[in-house]
Amino acid sequence: MKQTTGTLAAMKASGNKISMITAYDYTMARLISASGAEMILVGDSLGMVMLGYEDTVPVTMDDMVRHTRAVSRGCGDCFLVADMPFMACRISKRDTLLASARLMQEGRANAVKIEGGTEMADSIRAVVESGIPVMGHVGLTPQSVHALGGFKVQGRELAGAQKVLDDARAVAEAGAFGIVLECIPAPLAKLITEETGCITIGIGAGSGCDGQVLVGQDLLGMYSERTPKFLKRYAQIGQTVTDACRQYCEEVRSGVFPDEAHSFSLDPEILKALH
């Protein structure tokens, strides 16, 4: 059964936890869908994981549409959320609506994710009123990493915690069906989860959220440029890939590959005629 905002809300109401994993291409989407995850996020983290940027800022709308469209073909019953990239929601409401429409129509997303709190409430409300489901994102917002002074936990002091709480309230009141809570203290995330009607998806926000999200390549051990405290690696696929490619290269150089089992034969009479 295809996941929807309704089925996800029902999971929150019944206390069943929600699993969300990022994917940026068709192959990964197929594998995640088969795992039983409820949600897939096409995050603008693709800028670092797939495109080699230092942060998410250079990611464009065209990048997001292209990768979202690829993931949509393999996401199966997962609910597909796509990130609105840097500045896509901060120029005008018209630009925000047009960008959201592209992710839904061209990218085939089921919802869009918008970073920011109180300052983004009006934009979120406009997108929701247009009929597009919105997931918010508060706490550590990677698109604002330069303004925040780097990737670090938010809301540890009273003023910071109050800001995160106010941001979450504003996003919920604007009509978002869910909120990603990134790198905030676990008790604060639990308070937001209990107070708002939104589905909360944590990343570095403790177990009190309604669900969790991790970057697929991170949890598989394929991307090791950063190792945040909240990351748990469930495999070391990166090393497996390197080892397999190394063995392939060695066999090519030595002539072991391809052998007869991996080659196509030709009738000797045809070969004789060719000569």
Active site (annotated) includes residue 173: no
Which residue among 182, 194, 195, 269 is the active-site one? 182
Output the pLDDT for position 146.
52
71: nearest Cα among 31, 124, 16: 31
Cis ω before 85 (30° cut-off from 0): no
For 58-70, what is each residue's pLDDT tens digit? 999 999 999 999 9
> What is the token pair recorded at 138?
């508060």
In this predicted structure, the answer to whether residue 186 has a pLDDT above a threshold of 80 is yes
Share of the chain above pLDDT 70, in %: 96
What is the H or E stretch that residue 3 is in? Answer: none
Q: Is 146 exposed, middle or buried (0-12, 13-18, 19+ CB in 10 A)?
A: exposed
pLDDT band at 150 (very low <50, low <70, confident <90, very high): low
In this predicted structure, the answer to whether residue 167 has a pLDDT above a threshold of 80 is yes
Residues 201 and 181 sit within 8 Å (Cβ to Cβ):
yes
Output the pLDDT for position 55.
87
For 71-116, what is each residue's pLDDT tens digit? 999 999 999 999 999 988 888 999 999 999 999 999 999 999 999 9
Output the pLDDT for position 90.
87
Residue 37 makes CB contacts below 8 A (sequence gap 6+) with 19, 20, 21, 78
Identity at 122, one-letter amino acid code:
D
In this predicted structure, the answer to whether residue 149 has a pLDDT above a threshold of 70 is no
Distance linking the first and last C-alpha atoms of the chain: 60
**93 three-state secondary structure:** helix
CA 149 to chain centroid: 23
Output the pLDDT for position 145.
64
For 205-244, what is each residue's pLDDT tens digit? 999 999 999 999 999 999 776 778 888 999 999 999 999 9
Output the pLDDT for position 144.
63
**How far is it, in rounded angstroms, from Cα 143 to Cα 140?**
9
Residue with tokens 């995850």: 37
Residues 105 and 156 sit within 8 Å (Cβ to Cβ):
no
**How far is it, in rounded angstroms, from Cα 136 to Cα 176?**
6
